[in-house]
Amino acid sequence: MEPLHQMGDIIAERYRLTNILGQGGIGITYEAEGKETGKRVALKEVSLRRLTDWKVLELFEREARVLSELNHPSIPAYLDYFQVDTPSDRSFYLVQEIAPGKSLAALVEVGWRASEGEAQKLAIRVLEILSYLHSLTPPVIHRDIKPQNIILAEGGRVSLVDFGAVQDTYRHTFAGSSTVVGTYGYMAPEQFRCQAEPATDLYGLGATLLFLLTHQSPADLPQRRLKIEFRSQVQISDDFAGWIETLIEPAVEDRFTSAKEALAVLLGEREMIYPRASALQQPAGSRIVVNKTASRLVVEIPPSELRFSRVFIKLSTLICKLLFFFLGLHFGLYMLSEMTSVYYARFLLLALLILVFSGLDEIASSLFSIVGTEQLDINLQTFRLRWRLLGLSYQVQGRAKNVQCSCDLNGCALVEELQVHRFGSKLMPAEKEWLVAELNNFLGKPLYK
């Protein structure tokens, strides 16, 4: 889009143009100075003659109206809104204070790459702005969070600019809109359906952080099931990577519920894992607890429900096994003492050891079904399977990348190449099938039975 003015031109006898700050589909933004005050301002212009869609003018007027009602130190203040008529055109102008510093896009262009700490500090500042916007009545949704619209000044001050895509929730989310606004690569999936809500801005922030950390457009990063796979492209902690993954979840309901929640988790004031609704139906009466986020799933399998009949059967079985074990041990030791042949003695000793260990295994299995617990903690890279019984615990760990989950009559299994890790032997068949489906759904793999 060619500018309509030359540098030095005076607009409405009030503002002298000094530079072009940016331009896009909705208009051109100039840097200008007040003719009388000398104060630097940002002057955004939309030309009626150049309009190809009347929706652009509606967006521009909405931007001016919303900005006039905002009051936040990190949002450049609204100063003026006016129009200028000429014989061949009518132009509309929005005047704001100018944000000090440079855009994140400009900083990356000259070689700046954000460290994890810098990215986190930046995210905190932006989330504070979004928390303010989303707390208004009605909530204000920016809809175009991207590197070009975030200004970073010396000392770490952050400003959010360009509210040209701004939306008020009540009017457009619930009533509907026919205009797709945003920037490809930074737009949440729901924006392609002309929808937006506060979590839409969180997606834009997550995509912006990826750009700062990778120097690549989020649209160019690998994807799986519409989700950006970026871990191989960055060197950041698992916690921060998981936090970003939650921001860029394709489904709105899988992101943080608000900017305040995202900020609390980032600051360590809230846990990252919390219960999420699943598309899979948990069997009625099941006591399994599943906590899930975008990057982690934790399964807790509690002891069997303590019903009298079940406990009686389990205890009766356990007592019988204990009696059998001690009788067998006593008989074996007696026979061993009577043996005169060394070979027979060795054979009996081996049989006795087998009996002892099988008996112990049976006893432990019975006890575990009554009071034992199991926990599976799995993310997209690793898994940990832990068993707890009477204060004792045992665990195995492995890589989740090539794991397959299955179930059979003996319980559930994690199949890791040549190793099989079994768990959930006390679950009902419906519970086993549901749990395996949950695990494979989380890992993005088909169900194996």
The residues assigned a catalytic role are 144
Query: How far is it, in rounded angstroms, from Cα 89 to Cα 292?
Result: 57
How long a stretch of residues is the chain?
449
Amino acid at 8: G
| Distance from the Cα of residue 413 to its chain's centroid | 27
Nearest to 69 by CA among 154, 140, 170, 150: 140
SS3 337: helix
> Within 10 Å of residue 322's Cβ, how many Cβ atoms?
14
Can you read off the two tokens belonging to residue 359?
């008996």
The maximal CA–CA distance of the chain, rounded, in angstroms, is 124
Interior angle at CA 187, CA 182 and CA 191, nearest 5: 80
Query: How far is it, in rounded angstroms, from Cα 9 to Cα 245?
Result: 47
Interior angle at CA 64, CA 60 and CA 66, nearest 5: 115
Amino acid at 136: L
Query: How far is it, in rounded angstroms, from Cα 440 to Cα 35?
Result: 66
DSSP bridge partners of 286: none
Nearest to 376 by CA among 305, 296, 284: 296
Query: How far is it, in rounded angstroms, from Cα 21 to Cα 32?
Result: 10
> Within 10 Å of residue 226's Cβ, how many Cβ atoms?
10
Query: How far is it, in rounded angstroms, from Cα 260 to Cα 133?
Result: 11
Query: How far is it, in rounded angstroms, from Cα 372 to Cα 389?
Result: 5
**CB-neighbour burial class of residue 250 (10 A; exposed 0-12, middle 13-18, buried 19+):** middle
Query: How far is it, in rounded angstroms, from Cα 8 to Cα 259?
Result: 42
Can you read off the two tokens belonging to residue 434?
């549901």
Query: How far is it, in rounded angstroms, from Cα 437 to Cα 444?
Result: 10
